[in-house]
Amino acid sequence: MTTFSADTAGAILDDFDSRPGSATSLVRTVLGAYVRPLGGWFAIADFVVWMDAVGVPPESTRIAVTRLKKKGIVRPGVRDGRAGYDITEQADAMFSRGDGRIFGVRRMADSDPWRLISFTIPESQRAARHQLRRRLTGIGCGTVSPGLWIAPEYLAAEAADIIEALGLSEYVTTFVTSVLSPPGTLRDAAASWWDLDGIAGRHREFLHRATTSDKGAVGGREAFVRFVPLLDEWRIVPYVDPGLPPSMTPANWPGDRAVAEFAAARDRYLAPSRQWVAQT
């Protein structure tokens, strides 16, 4: 019998406990979008400068880095005689998966296949069962019933990684289907299986931040100051939103507008902000 431990799953499972805008969340965002493309190592003195630019005090930055060290996201490392931190291999894989989600948003067509995830987990594995449900929700899976979950087929590999990391593969069976026959309409089913109001709210929060920000031409530091909070707000949205097909989302769904706003911000700010970080 497998036994779940938080340390076992640790860094290889995407962790969205940090509230967007918090010091820990902003630090994670900068690690994934800036430090990792530059080789995965940083000196804490440099990192303090970057985080200060987005309003995070030095002490809060150091505390956040310490927390991420405990989570297995970073570890101490020395380069060219300078003390700093490396992104761990497990966290590097996590950020790599995240890049595909965050910078390459997907949406299903009505004919695309679904992955059904069925499980019966014994009471002795209650903690792991809770984590499984929480993590499946966190990557965009819907709940048909307590032991039956549904996701677009393109989320199957991510779901399988979570199941394996939690040591629950022996309790899980999955199926692929292209036909859903719920009682009522597909939109009714989607509203029952997913928290569509909550997902739409996430999109609207991002749209409010994105549409009220200045869109003029700026230098590298200002591009960093503008883009990091937008990216931090956005990075969770492509996870909780599975990209349901048009037949399953309400009229005036805000997701398409939010995707377009994020893409415009990325094209405007990401390259110059990365250049500023590299030069710093």
pLDDT tens digit at each of 280 positions of the chain: 444 344 434 444 445 556 788 999 999 999 999 999 999 999 999 999 999 999 999 999 999 999 999 989 999 999 988 999 999 998 998 898 888 889 988 899 999 999 999 999 999 999 999 999 999 998 999 999 999 999 999 999 999 989 998 999 999 999 999 999 999 999 999 999 999 999 999 999 999 989 877 777 789 999 999 999 999 999 989 989 999 999 999 999 999 999 999 999 999 999 999 999 999 8
Helix ranges (DSSP H) in the chain:
6-9, 23-30, 44-53, 58-70, 89-103, 126-138, 156-165, 186-193, 196-211, 220-234, 237-240, 255-279
Residue 105 in any domain: the answer is: no
In a domain, 55, yes or no: yes
Task: Report angle CA 57, 37, 260 to the nearest 5 degrees.
Answer: 85
Tokens 């499946």 correspond to what residue? 136
Q: How many domains is the chain partitioned into structurally?
A: 3
- Give the separation between CA 54 and CA 50, rounded to whole angstroms: 7
Sign of CA dihedral 15, 19, 25, 29: positive
For residue 189, is it within any domain? Answer: no
Same domain flag for 150 and 200: no
Which residues, in sequence order, are CB contacts of 90 under 8 Å at separation 6+?
10, 11, 12, 72
